[in-house]
Structure 1
Amino acid sequence: MQSYNSDALPAETRMAAWNALYSRQLNNVDFTPASSQDFAARLSLGQLGPIQFARMCTNRTNILRSRKHILPSQQRLYSFLLQAGGSSQLSHCGHEAELTPGDFALCDSAAPHSFTVDDGSVVIMLRIDAKTLRQHLPTPERFCGLHLRNEVGLTGAMSAMVERLDAQLAKGFTSIYGERFAQSLLEMLSMSYSMGFDMGGDVSAVLRGRHAEVVRYIEDHLRDPQLSPATIAEGLRISPRYLRTIFASTGEKVSTYIIRRRLEECAKQIRDPSWAGHTLTEIAFAWGFNSAAHFTRTFHEHHGMAPREYRRRMIG
């Protein structure tokens, strides 16, 4: 198992060196720690058949994979994130997941994400190429960003199994049965997700896959003030009626989803002290709003208070 420690990097260039190391070994991302002076992280990598295991331990930091990090030439990978210790918050594909020990979330390398890990966080990542995962989980897009809780179905048993396998790999475990172990593990993970998010038999797998495609399109264009059901339908080359059918299964209109996601992203920046120097209008317009009055009204409806009051309460 390969191991890397931020303490081994030069203090004056530690953050840049760690970002480069992580991007080279896993995915292109930007680490932004709560304190760059106190930043400390460890990364261990192992392999079990087609599954790459990665254990990351770090103090509080945000790991951002934005659209600029995603290259068309890169292989598409999915990562099962297991919160083995501490806590974290994942924002991905329009979902927010607050992870505590034993919880899982699924992440798609082809879509942006924001992953904030708290002090003492330990995360085990199981990385699989899209083709292999689809043999076990035909529509992984529908699960990306969702929070699979430890107490649901087989999740607790899967959490314990993954942690034990990771510990065995750290000791140098190898076996001629590694491929079979990996396939069994993927099958059980697939079953855990199917049990944890049973969306009912009335919604076809094709429709769920199309819904995930629409969500990904919206997330990629969320900052565009021209984004609308009409432009989404045109961009995906589907009819507006079919777009409404895709979203009907969720009980939320497309336009409502767009507004909700924009408000969530605005609220995230409003309560972030690093954005205190930006006006509320700047933040709103950066996320696709083109009317300050409309932003204030919809924000109040969603959060129960005006944006200015929300900022005052959150950061003083």
Structure 2
Amino acid sequence: MSRIQGTTFVAGGSILGAHGRGDERLIGNCSVVRVRELVRNTIRRNWTEIREEGADVAALCFVRKGAMRLAHAGGISYAKAGDMVVAVSTVPFEVEIDPGAGGAFEMMQLTVPTHVLRCASNCEIHAGLLAPAGSRSLSAAMRILAVISDESGDVPDCVAGKMLDALLPLIGSVVGRHAITDTGPRSIADRRLVDVLRYVESHLSDPRLSAANVALNCGISSRYLSALLRRRGATFLSLVCGKRLEVAGKWLAASGSAQASISEVAYRLGFKSPAHFSRVFRRQYKMSPSEYRERNVVADKAPLFPAHEGSPAATRLLHLQRVPRDGSGARPLSRERFQVCADSARA
């Protein structure tokens, strides 16, 4: 399996790494890449690359031909031609592309700092956010991006920069429309708490994560940090441990032992040792990590892009949703519910 190199997000480029053949254009702190690939490929991004980069950017992938699968800790997103899907640099993911019957996979990727996209959309940016084809705003955004990324060089950099400035609010409206909405923080304390939670979630893999470090990077005192967390009825240790266990549960349910061992999950999430991780996990979930994985992971994985029966040119996409179910003698678990979407990838 090929892996994305550490410079992918820092210096621009495609999330497909060396496999993404195309032209790249740098515009300020953003980059635009046209990608064309003729064969199916799978690419992984891991915690080592995330720590080495230290980047916090979002890659907005506008699929033009073929289909794309993006797997992350929160689930799996499938995008066909005309869709947009978002990958973020701060979490591991796996990408699979399928050229389909058309013989080529094509996409345009816009990479922007996450805080820029957050301001444009007025919402939190999560990996796997999917905007399906059909809206006028998304179609318009793709047309504008196609002009900006045109390799002919007819659009000067100064004009491309102004076009991108106008494009970001349009993309922000698309992202905001498909993101999980909330009322948003209203007081200064609420905004500080959001900053703290955001920093903690972005640094869960760091075993040296501490209250002093979080307070320093969020521009508040350790005493004020403790006061903010008390409002939630939590301590710093309970917050970090709870977030790590939450991510661990999602990761275990979304991957098999061949993809990520229990030890790898433990170390990647900043636990001292696999034994320590197992003890804490059992205390929270009332079962071991391996037992949790066995009860939640899909045993027999269906083909990622199976052909539509009777139509070799079509691609059937599976949209995965999680719904709660009760486990015997345990806290609510999760099961997999698959909804088949018979939309075909455009040639």
Pairwise same-fold verdict (TM > 0.5) = yes
Q: Does the alignment pair 1:195 with 2:177?
A: yes
Q: CA separation of 1:302/1:54 partners in 2, compared to 1, >3 Å: closer, same or farther?
A: farther
User: Which of 239, 262, 266 lines up with 2:248 in the alignment?
Assistant: 262
Map Cα deviations across residues 12-34 of structure 1 (whole Å, 9 max, x no partner).
xxx79x94885795269896xxx
| RMSD (Å) for aligned C-alpha atoms | 4.8
Q: 1:80 aligns with which of 60, 80, 101?
A: 60
TM-score, structure 2 length as denominator? 0.56
The answer for the alignment partner of 1:143 in structure 2 is: 125
The TM-score, its normalising length taken from structure 1, stands at: 0.61
More helix by share: 1
Matched pairs, number:
270
The corresponding residue for 2:161 is 179
* Distance apart, 1:298 and its partner CA: 5.3
User: Could you tell me how far 1:139 is from its partner in structure 2?
Assistant: 6.1
In structure 2, list runs of 5 or more residues that go unmatched.
100-104, 216-221, 302-347
Deviations 1:88-107 (A, max 9, x none): 2153xx74451413123263
- Counterpart amino acid of residue 239 in structure 1: L
Q: Is the 8 A contact 1:51 1:127 kept in 2?
A: yes
Superposed CA offset, 1:127-151 (max 9, x none) = 34578x37962867x2242514225
Residue from 273, 278, 294 that aligns with 2:258: 273
Q: Distance in 2 between matches of 1:174 and 1:312?
A: 48
Q: Distance in 2 between matches of 1:130 and 1:274?
A: 27
Would you say the 8 A contact 1:210–1:246 is kept in 2? Answer: no
- CA distance in structure 2 between the aligned counterparts of 1:82 and 1:257, rounded to whole angstroms: 31
The letter for the 2-side match of 1:273 is A
The answer to whether the 8 A contact 2:59-2:110 is kept is yes
Structure 1 alignment gaps of length 5 or more: 1-14, 32-38
CA–CA distance in structure 1, aligned partners of residues 7 and 214 of structure 2: 36
Q: d(CA) in 2 for partners of 1:261 and 1:193?
A: 23
Structure 1 residues 30 and 220 mapped into 2: Cα distance closer, same or farther (>3 Å)? farther
Spell out the pairing of 1:1-316 with structure 2 (5 A cutoff).
19=5, 26=12, 41-47=20-26, 51-58=30-37, 59-64=40-45, 66-70=49-53, 77-84=57-64, 85-89=66-70, 91=72, 95-96=74-75, 98-101=77-80, 102-105=83-86, 107-108=88-89, 111-120=90-99, 122-128=106-112, 133=116, 137=120, 142-145=124-127, 147-150=129-132, 156-158=138-140, 160-162=142-144, 164-165=146-147, 169-175=150-156, 177-197=159-179, 199-201=181-183, 203-204=185-186, 207=190, 210-211=193-194, 213-222=196-205, 224=207, 232=211, 235-236=214-215, 237=222, 238-243=224-229, 256-269=242-255, 271-275=256-260, 280=262, 282-283=263-264, 285-286=266-267, 287=269, 288=271, 290=276, 292=278, 295=281, 306-308=292-294, 313-314=299-300
Q: Distance between the aligned counterparts of 2:109 and 2:205, measured in 1?
A: 28
